[in-house]
A and B are shown apart, each in its own frame.
Chain A
């Protein structure tokens, strides 16, 4: 059972890591208004538009997999942090239609409004998803009492802070995670544009500059975040499942699970290498490959650190015993086993995504191709 719980936490972490990487779509959406011409903006939109559904689907699968493997998290966090998740959903609804509608005649609101929706989703999607991850690190204000289900008057097992997620948005540590994610997404987006759009050297130079500026901000925020996380206290549980506050829990996890620490460092180095090489070599256009892979590795390691080594992955600052761990919040052995068999399909899924990604990305998108595109966004 414990092996299956750990395996599913790994898969959730992997999906989370892939989602953070794919948020480059959102990052790119925040850079649309910086475009020098409508053609440049359309190129960016269409380049991102070939990937937005992948980000969207990863978010949906992330939610579905969390539901299936750790239903108590789904029940507690989604029902509790109601406003946080509703704002996230709202921003993604606007994104889903904006690509398709923005330049279609009769779209009711006009192209600029749909582009503004994309901008909103870019900012809100990254920051609020970051806030949600922040809650998993720094805790939230909730209680879980399973026996409440027997109370006919108020039979709800998970009770959250009356602000229902708004309090999490205004927590500076959660916001630090959110803005770090935003600037990472913007950095990756600029590198993605360099790789996927061919619109002359001036365009490339602008994107290089954008990558470096956003990358610099990201590095500062990231260093601050790492310092905050690894000096923070966390919550851990003992052999009886009793949960208590543990000083420097995440730093301790990093030491105890040295192999995760190694992956984390490798990921960070890869991100910095991709950025550095793009800065040094003007014609280099594969920075996104390095920063993308590095992002996945670093976030994967970070997410694993939140749940492994007897750690509460959603600590309750009100009642530590209500904190969620991969042991007390998971599905049954049978369900995890069934789901594990299904997860065997994952390599096939990853393989066909890679094939299609390659086929649609080479050669880079050009203004000429866009002008002749039947279904351009």
Chain B
């Protein structure tokens, strides 16, 4: 059992490491692909050589980043099999389809046309090249769509039913999987946040060019495009973020309670604006959950339910059995977690009985066991838990990651309002102000922290589930030794560190080298 826990923990660390590193590169790919597409379109329409130079500069940075995203993405896909083999069987019938469609529909589009983007300038017509650039951007977005559909399904399993004969879940409605409210919201929230990140990168690097003074026009044109994309992106990201909060309150209320450090809910629940999580706090122990708490009155009720007086259940309420209904309107007394554990164990026992009856060909016993499975399967995953508290995600990580994301997002909104206003109203003095440029440069790490915090919240906040309510992490792993996973974990740590340092180093060298000359008058190779 200890070995199993070790394998689970190391597999989680390995997957988390890969996902975090992968997400360093992906949003930049998403954002830059759109910005480059706009820049090349301007070049195509105006035939102004300056826009061609601008496009090529950002395209080179895009290419350097793209390679690392591709490298880490491959591992993520295969880790579902290598480290989470039980998961792959239990829900592979549903989860595999989006991954395959991602490959057929999106990856080939990206990988085919990205070659034209970089090597087609003199081999294809400008129109074909522009089409290739946009097709690459579309491929990137489609790729995000399908992987986010898959991720959303893990958070809100829909469109499936359990097949006791095969001991796995099978898809019964593709539409429900693809168009689930969680999937749709997650797609827009994530892709739009990629626009924001790409825009901050372009604005930040352009600010540095402005500090260096050789490429003023180059930088201002870049900021103009990125400022508009960034402002649109952050406004829409916040809008969809609001939608995410509502979805979470409906479908993952435990995640919502954890990210607020809320143990006992109330009507008109406040939102914690400032505070420190008491890490010793456990459900029902009577300790204070948040130290030095400063709350926005009724904030959480408004955020989660769009109703200032709505009841928001806390961790202890949920364990007792409070739940939010499908429409998110009312809170009602549902099945307590202790009862869910019993029902999960009942479903497992019924599945054992079904299997035994099937082997001896007893149709009546199979039908009887099937009825019990159907009645209890909703809480199948709880049967693997030892106590209701096992279903509580890490509160401190969820709490802080949510606040980091929201505060950084709020700052980015202000940042882009100023950038977009200054660039479009030609407030050149502000944009060239040294302190403003330093601020732009410092915003680059802020947006990455914001973006990563969002994913940490999404993934840590849903623990211990790989599939909400159906399969906890300890029942999803592969039968490998923890030593093997530890070895590959440290191998990946070393490898990713080298790749990351190399990528940043190459990007910095490329930008600095270009900044030394006036890029508009540098001889074209």
Q: A residues engaging B (CB < 8 A)?
A: 50-51, 53-54, 56-57, 59-61, 63-65, 67-69, 71-72, 74-80, 82-83, 85-86, 89-90, 92-93, 96-97, 99-101, 104-109, 146-147, 149-150, 152-160, 162, 164, 331-332, 334-335, 338-339, 342-343, 345-346, 349, 352-353, 356, 359-360, 369, 371-375
Contacts and interface: CB of A to CB of B under 8 A. Distances in A.
A69 B95 CA distance: 11
B69 to A, nearest CB: 9
Interface in B56-79: 56, 59-60, 63-64, 66-68, 70-75, 77-78
Interface string B38-72: 00000000000000000010011001101110111
B97 A339 contact: yes
7 contacts: A60-B77, A65-B104, A67-B100, A68-B101, A150-B355, A335-B93, A342-B101
B88 A149 contact: no
Given A75-B92, A105-B509, A331-B96, A353 B108 contact: yes
A375 B60 contact: yes
Nearest to B70: A96
A341 to B, nearest CB: 9
Contacts of B86: 75, 79, 149, 155-158
A175 B402 CA distance: 51
B121 to A, nearest CB: 7
A359 to B, nearest CB: 5
Contacts of B168: 71, 146
Given A61-B100, A74-B88, A90-B491, A101 B121 contact: no
A359 B89 contact: no
Given A106-B509, A335-B170, A345 B105 contact: yes
B127 interface: no
Given A68-B100, A105-B513, A106-B506, A63 B78 contact: yes
A148 to B, nearest CB: 8
A79 B111 contact: no
A265 to B, nearest CB: 30
Contacts of B85: 74-76, 78-80, 156-158
A156 to B, nearest CB: 4
B249 interface: no
A325 B171 CA distance: 21
B81 interface: yes
A57 B509 contact: no
Contact of A79 (B82, B116, B172): B82
B273 interface: no
Contacts, number: 289
A331 B93 contact: yes
A104 to B, nearest CB: 4
The 8 closest A-B pairs by CB, nearest first: A71-B92, A79-B85, A78-B81, A106-B509, A79-B478, A61-B103, A68-B96, A96-B71
Nearest to B87: A75
B352 A96 contact: no
A57 B102 CA distance: 11
B74 A60 contact: yes
B484 interface: yes
Interface residues of B, number: 97
A108 B505 contact: yes
Contacts of A54: 111-112, 115
A376 to B, nearest CB: 9
Given A86-B488, A105-B510, A157-B86, A147 B167 contact: yes
Interface of B: 1, 4, 56, 59-60, 63-64, 66-68, 70-75, 77-78, 80-86, 88-90, 92-97, 99-105, 107-116, 118-124, 128, 132, 163, 166-168, 170-172, 174, 348, 351-352, 355, 383-384, 474-475, 477-481, 484, 488, 491, 495, 498-499, 501-503, 505-506, 508-510, 513, 525
A352 B109 CA distance: 9
Nearest to B480: A82
Contacts of A96: 67-68, 70-71, 74
Contact of B71 (A68, A97, A146): A97
B397 to A, nearest CB: 26
A108 B509 CA distance: 11
Contact of B124 (A90, A152, A359): A359
B478 A92 contact: no
Contacts of B92: 67-68, 71-72, 74-75, 331
Given A106-B508, A154-B479, A372-B525, A64 B121 contact: no
Nearest to B7: A156
Residue from A79, A93, A369, A373 with most neighbouring chain B CB atoms (10 Å): A79
B498 A158 contact: no
A374 B72 CA distance: 26
Contacts of B114: 53
A74 B86 CA distance: 10
Contacts of B60: 374-375
B112 A342 contact: no
Given A156-B477, A359-B120, A150 B348 contact: yes
- Which of B99, B119, B502 has most chain A Cβ within 10 Å? B119
Contacts of A375: 59-60, 63, 118-119
Contacts of A67: 80-81, 88, 92, 95-96, 99-100
Contacts of B495: 90, 93
Nearest to A100: B67
A99 to B, nearest CB: 7
Nearest to A342: B101
Contact of B97 (A146, A338, A345): A338
B81 A77 contact: yes
Given A67-B92, A74-B81, A101-B64, 16 more contacts: A61-B100, A61-B103, A64-B104, A65-B104, A67-B100, A75-B89, A78-B88, A97-B67, A97-B499, A150-B355, A153-B1, A160-B479, A332-B163, A335-B171, A339-B100, A360-B119
A82 B491 CA distance: 14
B63 A57 contact: no
Contact of A154 (B4, B99, B111): B4
B115 A356 contact: yes
Nearest to B507: A106
A334 B348 contact: no
B97 A107 contact: no
A156 B96 contact: no
B108 A349 contact: yes
A53 B71 CA distance: 11
A338 B174 contact: yes
Given A82-B480, A332-B171, A372-B525, A60 B107 contact: yes
B119 A57 contact: no
A83 B94 CA distance: 27
B94 A360 contact: no
A69 B170 CA distance: 12
A150 B352 contact: yes
B47 to A, nearest CB: 18
Contacts of B113: 356
Residue from B64, B77, B103, B163 with most neighbouring chain A CB atoms (10 Å): B103
A74 B79 CA distance: 10
A319 to B, nearest CB: 15
Q: Which of A76, A106, A158, A346 has the most CB of B within 10 A?
A: A106
Contacts of B103: 57, 60-61, 63-65
B309 to A, nearest CB: 43
A97 B68 contact: yes
A42 B69 CA distance: 24
Contacts of A371: 525
B123 A359 contact: yes
A33 to B, nearest CB: 22
Contacts of B102: 64
Contacts of A160: 479
A142 B172 CA distance: 31
B352 A147 contact: yes
A5 to B, nearest CB: 13
Contacts of A331: 92-93, 96-97, 170
